[in-house]
Amino acid sequence: MATTVIGAGITIEGDLSTDDDVVVQGTLRGKLTARDGVVVEAGGSVEADIASGPAQIAGAVTGNITSTDRVDLQNGAKVVGNVKATRITIADGAQFKGSVDMDV
Amino acid sequence: MSNVTVIGEGAVVRGRIQGEGDLAIAGRVEGDVEVSGEIVVEVKGLVAANLTGQRVVVRGAVRGDLVGAESIELDAGARVVGDARAPRIRVAPGALIRGFVTTGPREPGATKSRTAAASAARPAPKPAVAPKKVEAPQSAPAAKKAEPPKPVAKIPAKPAAKSAPARGATIAGARPGPPAPVVPALRKGAKAVHKKRA
């Protein structure tokens, strides 16, 4: 299990970079770089630019999301920032403020 | 187990980690760590930070001070360069530690600086604080022997001396006050040799 998990109640202030998955249940401020997937769970909070593979957002994200794959804004997500991805879904109930950039 | 934070293998964190819960580090962490629960530095974990937690368990490498509110455990294979302070400390055979180790109840005025702690403890006439202090001297020589030499950043003194006159001139031009004294980088005895030859 090389997955990195930021548990609920934990705050990381700074940069986090990894080649594997990242699951955010707590708070991350700074910068998040993952070669693989990023999951921001409900209750999780990211105040950072995210560069990743597939991203599933169910928590709060303030910052730009750049994904080499797809970005899923799930029900309960609150995203303020621009999203750049090859595919994107915005579920009913997701809050989103920002622009979408897709390679067409 | 929802409150467990994992820094996975291959992950790098540069910054501060704090909060409630447990923390397992299998990657790299640079920056201070302060959590309410248990900190486990796994075998492949590399930490350049001070670690503060309820329990601190080290199986990997740490450069920084360890503070455990309850205990510190250094398992076999652990490499620690830094001070360790906790009510209970266990150093397993095969663990390396280089630093100041303090066990016993937390002293009210305890500081991280060993010199400050030592000077504070010395003038106290009553041995109320001293007897609880237990050190682990047997592990110190082993640590010194096996610890790889740390790369020490060398200060490039010579280039600075060469470029000093030019830099001093620019500084003098910019500042209103007297210029910084520029001492020519002459070798000791160079003048004497010159005189003798002349």
Cα–Cα distance, B93 to B28 (Å, whole number): 25
Of the ranges A37-41, A45-49, B193-197, which one carries the lowest mean pLDDT score? B193-197
**In a 3-state reduction of DSSP, which class is residue B125?**
coil
pLDDT at B33 over 80: yes
Residues 6 or more apart whose CB falls under 8 angstroms from that of A68 comprise A52, A53, A85, A86
Same domain, B163 and B138: no
Model pLDDT, residue B176: 66
Same domain, B95 and B175: no
Using CB atoms, pick whichever of B5, B13, B14 lies closest to residue A5: B5
Q: What percent of chain A has pLDDT over 90?
A: 85
CA neighbor of B54 nearest in space, from B40, B38, B65: B38
Cβ neighbours around A15 below 10 Å, total? 17
Using CB atoms, pick whichever of B5, B10, B27 lies closest to residue A10: B5
Same domain, B121 and B64: yes
Model pLDDT, residue B3: 75
Same domain, B172 and B112: no
Q: Is residue B152 part of a domain?
A: no
DSSP code per residue over B92-103: -TT-EEES-EE-
Residue B45 Cα, gap to closest chain A Cα (Å): 12
Same domain, B89 and B8: yes
Model pLDDT, residue B4: 85
- Find out whether B54 and B36 touch, Cβ atoms under 8 Å: yes
Chain A residues with CB under 8 Å of B23 CB are 7, 10
Q: Is residue B32 part of a domain?
A: yes
pLDDT at A47 over 90: yes
Average pLDDT over residues A10-16: 92
Q: Is residue B151 part of a domain?
A: no
Token digits of residue B19:
């909060």
Model pLDDT, residue B124: 42
Residue B85 Cα, gap to closest chain A Cα (Å): 23
B132: containing domain? 4-146
Same domain, B184 and B91: no
pLDDT tier, B193 (very low <50, low <70, confident <90, very high otherwise): low
A8 touches chain B (CB under 8 A): yes
Model pLDDT, residue B121: 43
Residues 6 or more apart whose CB falls under 8 angstroms from that of B12 comprise A15, A16, A17, A18, B27, B28, B29, B30
Model pLDDT, residue B114: 47
Number of domains in chain B: 2
Token digits of residue A80:
């303020």
